[in-house]
């Protein structure tokens, strides 16, 4: 890798964004930033349970009070100031985020997709949020109707790369390696 690359990962719940980011950290020594980290920090600081509802409400409130691009501004500064050659921004969720992050010439949006049923099964096994492991399929489907989740699917049309993550981990890793090679020189 010769050039700096900033890959922003977007995709629906449990599509594989975190798995992709983790692989790039381990294989390519990437630095990683997550939109959800700052939300998680705020929710924990307020002594609330870290569940999807609190995260979504916090995101909505911050954007309403400080502007739609407030979260993207944090990611922009973090990525711009990082000296790693490969930087991953995990959890791009809104078109406003993409517009702002595209001001960094090295930024490329990657949309990770997988079927709903596959993503639900992944959600149950990973247990990232307090309410994940007890979630029914019907509740999972309902989560996709919440405002922050509805915005995500619009991003696929704006992605430089679309990664089909319905296959195996080696297939995902191969696609990621190809993207790094393509943009890294």
Q: What are the sequence ranges of the domains in the chain? A: 5-184
The answer for residues whose C-beta is within 8 angstroms of residue 104's C-beta and 6 or more apart is 6, 76, 79, 80
Tell me the torsion sign for CA atoms 71, 77, 83, 85.
positive
pLDDT digits (tens, 9 = 90+) for 29-85: 999 999 889 999 999 999 999 988 899 899 999 999 999 889 999 999 998 889 999
- Do the bridges between strand 31-34 and strand 86-92 make them parallel or antiparallel, or are there none, so unpaired? parallel
| C-alpha distance from residue 102 to each of 48, 99, 115, 176, 177 (Å) | 33, 5, 28, 20, 22
Residue 95, φ and ψ in degrees, nearest 5? -60, -35
Q: What order do you get walking across the sheet with 86-92 strand by strand? A: 31-34, 86-92, 5-10, 107-113, 161-164
* pLDDT tens by residue, 137-159: 888 777 767 666 778 989 999 99
More confident residue, 96 or 145: 96
Classify domain 5-184 at the CATH superfamily level: P-loop containing nucleotide triphosphate hydrolases (3.40.50.300)
């Amino acid at each position: 890798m010769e050039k700096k690359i900033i890959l922003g990962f977007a995709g629906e719940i449990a599509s594989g964004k975190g798995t992709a980011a983790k692989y790039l950290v381990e294989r390519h020594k990437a630095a990683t930033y997550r939109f959800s980290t700052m939300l998680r920090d705020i929710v924990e600081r307020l002594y609330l349970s870290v569940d999807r509802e609190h995260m979504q409400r916090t995101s909505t409130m911050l954007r309403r009070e400080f502007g739609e691009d407030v979260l993207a501004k944090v990611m922009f500064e973090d990525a711009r100031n990082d000296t790693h050659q490969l930087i991953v921004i995990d959890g791009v969720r809104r078109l406003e985020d993409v517009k702002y992050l595209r001001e960094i010439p090295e930024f490329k949006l990657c949309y990770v997709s997988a079927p709903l049923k596959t993503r639900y099964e992944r959600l149950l096994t990973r247990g990232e949020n307090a309410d994940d492991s007890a979630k029914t399929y019907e509740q999972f489907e309902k989560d996709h109707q919440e405002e922050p989740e509805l915005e995500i699917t619009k991003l696929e049309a704006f992605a430089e790369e679309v990664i089909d993550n319905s296959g195996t981990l080696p297939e995902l890793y191969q696609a990621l390696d190809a993207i790094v090679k393509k943009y890294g020189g």
